[in-house]
């Protein structure tokens, strides 16, 4: 036997194994699985998604693959939905089949499949979601009671602005405090001064998740390719994220312990009290589901969703006024006509402020906050646009793609509030703008967010003028990680009267 036979045979085996592994890696989950790019091993298409992933996904869909496509992210083939029609078909018309949530390592390491935001679809999840909606309704979500909370916090913020008159102020930072205080009052009945060190630490954790320039991109990659969390660089970002999240868990546990000690079934003050009531006096089924750990994660979910959405949308609204000052005049005229100098803004008077409503809706379209939503998971086999999508497939709705569809929104990149006003000068609500998603996984805080954005925008502009320091207007490019947030927003306020 030739001495070289063994090495050659060994090389052949290695090559054959590599080819087999490559074939298994390259193979689609099903012959009728949606088409799409595969990328490179371990990373998939992550290195090719650029600094604005939603724009890249929309471009791939428009140029080659269609509105239902697949993309390899890390080692998994996921389905991407990129226009309103397929979003509606999947998330609304087939809501239960697309309502699952896959295991997301970066979050499940903290939540342990508790709460509602990152939890998989089940009867227990539906029960918890319905409980949350019921409690929020009882608190008057979108009605006068909620407006009172927003107005009171708004008055605190107006006084704070007065203390900064003529000096640069980080508006983006303090909007976090404002909206955070509102959801804190609803969830555990407390508000905090804007310089509170412990509370600001809690807010900083949200900024790390949604707008951290050092770790944000790496966390985005770990989110879609969890195996990367073991590699240098990514591991550091992941561990830093976990450390900050553990501190917020302890903060929630302390609030719950206070509520457990001071609970009075005849005086339900907030969400935590309502949960503890179910825990102690609900049905036997509820008692098994309503655990302390479930409340910890539910509170975290509410705080996360209730703070970021409103604060960043408001930040975009003020930043766009710096870039489009022509929008300010019709806003100011409507405020003066509807509310005057000292009138209290009310969501019940939307008909008197059509341009303000149009401006806010255009902000939500042009600067979609959640450009690509949290991952969904199919709960059964099925077809979408003639493509077969197996059970347990990860599905990612691209809301930004729906808002940039030229067939629905002519010249979609152009910012134009008047596209939401009809020939009679009335505001037109569009069901094609879905910044809070659709179907069973829609954000239950949508009503609160809209009240906050509307009322804070009016309250601030009712009393103050603002400008960029030294005419240095921040860019509209933003930070694109799991959210689309402004890079910065430093402004100088002046008294209007």
Confidence of residue 28 (pLDDT cuts 50, 70, 90): confident
How many CB atoms sit inside 10 A of residue 407's CB? 9
pLDDT of 14 reads 60
Residue scoring higher pLDDT (209 or 435): 435
The C-alpha angle 325, 309, 208, rounded to 5 degrees, equals: 105
Give the whole-number percent of the chain exceeding pLDDT 70: 91
Q: If one looks up domain 30-495 in CATH, what number appears?
A: 1.10.630.10
Mean per-residue pLDDT, 409-424: 96
Most confident of 86-90, 266-270, 344-348: 86-90
Give me the half-sphere count of Cα atoms (radius 13 Å) on the Cβ side of residue 139.
29
Helix, coil or strand: residue 291: coil
pLDDT, tens digit (0-9, with 9 covering 90-100), for 138-164: 765 546 678 889 999 999 999 999 999
> Does residue 20 register a pLDDT over 50?
no
How many CB atoms sit inside 10 A of residue 9's CB? 10
Break the chain into its structural domains and give their ranges. 30-495
H helix intervals, 2-83: 5-26, 53-60
How many CB atoms sit inside 10 A of residue 150's CB? 24
> Does residue 212 register a pLDDT over 70?
no
What pTM value is reported for the model? 0.91
Structure tokens at 169: 């102020």
pLDDT, tens digit (0-9, with 9 covering 90-100), for 70-121: 999 998 999 999 999 999 999 999 999 999 999 988 888 888 889 999 999 9
Spatial CB neighbours of 137, under 8 Å, sequence gap ≥ 6: none
> Does residue 488 register a pLDDT over 90?
no
162, 172, 254, 292 from 189: Cα distances, Å: 26, 24, 13, 18
pLDDT, tens digit (0-9, with 9 covering 90-100), for 452-469: 999 999 999 999 999 999
Q: At which residue do the structure tokens 């006024």 appear?
A: 321
pLDDT, tens digit (0-9, with 9 covering 90-100), for 283-300: 766 667 899 999 999 999
Cβ proximity of 35 and 390 under 8 Å? no
> Does residue 133 register a pLDDT over 80?
yes
Counting beta carbons within 10 angstroms of the beta carbon of residue 453, is it exposed (0 to 12), middle (13 to 18) or buried (19 or more)? Answer: buried
């Amino acid at each position: 036997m030739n001495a070289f036979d063994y090495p050659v045979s060994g090389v052949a085996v290695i090559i054959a194994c590599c080819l087999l592994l490559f074939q298994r890696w390259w193979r689609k989950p099903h012959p009728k699985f949606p088409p799409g790019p595969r990328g490179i091993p371990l990373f998939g298409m992550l290195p090719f998604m650029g600094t604005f992933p939603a724009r890249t996904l929309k471009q791939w869909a428009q140029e080659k693959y269609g509105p239902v496509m697949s993309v390899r992210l890390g080692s998994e083939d996921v389905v991407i939905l990129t226009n309103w029609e397929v979003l509606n078909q999947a998330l609304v018309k087939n809501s239960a089949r697309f309502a699952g949530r896959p295991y997301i390592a970066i979050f499940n390491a903290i939540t342990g499949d508790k709460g509602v935001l990152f939890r998989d679809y089940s009867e227990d999840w539906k029960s918890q979601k319905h409980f949350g909606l019921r409690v929020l309704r009882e608190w008057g979500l979108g009605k006068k009671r909620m407006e009172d909370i927003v107005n009171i916090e708004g008055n605190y913020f107006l006084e704070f602005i007065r203390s900064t008159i003529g000096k640069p102020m980080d508006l983006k930072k303090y909007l976090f405090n404002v909206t955070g205080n509102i959801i804190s009052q609803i969830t555990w009945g407390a508000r905090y001064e804007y310089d509170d060190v412990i509370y600001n630490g809690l807010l900083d954790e949200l900024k790390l998740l949604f707008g951290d320039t050092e770790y944000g991109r790496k966390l985005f990659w770990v989110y879609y390719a969890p195996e990367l969390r073991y590699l240098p660089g990514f591991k550091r970002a992941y561990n830093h994220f976990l450390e900050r999240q553990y501190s917020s868990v302890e903060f929630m546990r302390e609030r719950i312990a206070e509520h457990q000690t001071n609970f009075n079934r005849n005086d339900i003050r907030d969400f935590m009290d309502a949960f503890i009531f179910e825990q102690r006096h609900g049905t036997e089924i509820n008692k098994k589901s309503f655990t302390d750990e479930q409340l910890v994660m539910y509170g975290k979910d509410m705080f996360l969703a209730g703070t970021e959405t409103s604060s960043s949308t408001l930040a975009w609204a003020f930043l766009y006024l710096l870039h489009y000052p022509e929008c300010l005049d019709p806003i100011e005229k409507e405020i003066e006509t509807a509310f005057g100098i000292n009138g209290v803004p009310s969501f019940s008077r939307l008909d008197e402020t059509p341009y303000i409503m149009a401006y806010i809706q255009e902000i939500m379209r042009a600067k979609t906050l959640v450009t690509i939503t949290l991952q969904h998971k199919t709960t059964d086999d099925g077809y979408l646009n003639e493509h077969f999508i197996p059970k347990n497939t990860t599905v990612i709705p691209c809301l930004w793609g729906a808002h940039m569809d030229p067939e629905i929104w002519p010249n979609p990149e152009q910012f134009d509030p008047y596209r939401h006003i009809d020939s009679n000068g009335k505001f037109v609500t569009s069901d094609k703008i879905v910044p809070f998603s659709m179907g069973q996984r829609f954000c239950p805080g949508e009503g609160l967010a809209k009240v906050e954005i509307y009322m804070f925008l009016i309250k601030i502009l009712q009393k103050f003028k603002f400008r960029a320091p030294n005419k240095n207007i921040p860019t509209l490019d933003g930070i694109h990680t799991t959210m689309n947030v402004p890079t910065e927003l430093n402004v100088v306020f002046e008294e209007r009267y």
